[in-house]
Amino acid sequence: MRLRVVLLSILFIVNTAYADSEGKRGFVLDIAVSGFFSPEVKSAKVISLVSHSNAEKVGIKIGDELVAVHECKIPGCPANKAKKLMTKKPGETVLLSFRREDQTIYAVKLVLE
């Protein structure tokens, strides 16, 4: 039992330290993937947005569909690659392309907070 508590404590500390170094995007995606061993992103749609965040400032809106992270197109981008491309430190830039509900496509350079 004591070993389990120690391991859980270590995992919590490691995850907390990692979370502190990860930049905030300012939006939440509803992501659908396909595949089990090598999942690919099928779709990713903005479902919430943080007020006054950099995401809001660059024009991202709820309902926008993510169509590319850097040059990795969605659908088809491997999930682990998409996650790696979107996980940066505060101050780093992520290149994203979105499709609006009216089918217009736009690209943003999002500086993580």
Average pLDDT, the chain: 87
- Rounded (to 5) percent helix, strand, coil in the chain: 30, 35, 35
CB 40 within 8 A of CB 79: yes
CATH number, residue 87: 2.30.42.10
Percent of the chain's residues with pLDDT above 70:
82
Which two tokens mark 79?
Answer: 């999930």
10-56 tens-digit pLDDT = 334 444 444 558 999 999 999 999 998 999 999 999 999 999 999 99
Characterise 53 by phi-psi region: left (phi > 0), alpha (psi -120 to 50), beta (else). Answer: beta
For residue 18, tell me if it sits in a domain.
no
Indicate the pTM of the whole model: 0.79
For residue 58, tell me if it sits in a domain.
yes
pLDDT at residue 94 is higher than 80: yes
- CA distance readout (Å), 24 to 34, 39, 89: 26, 24, 8
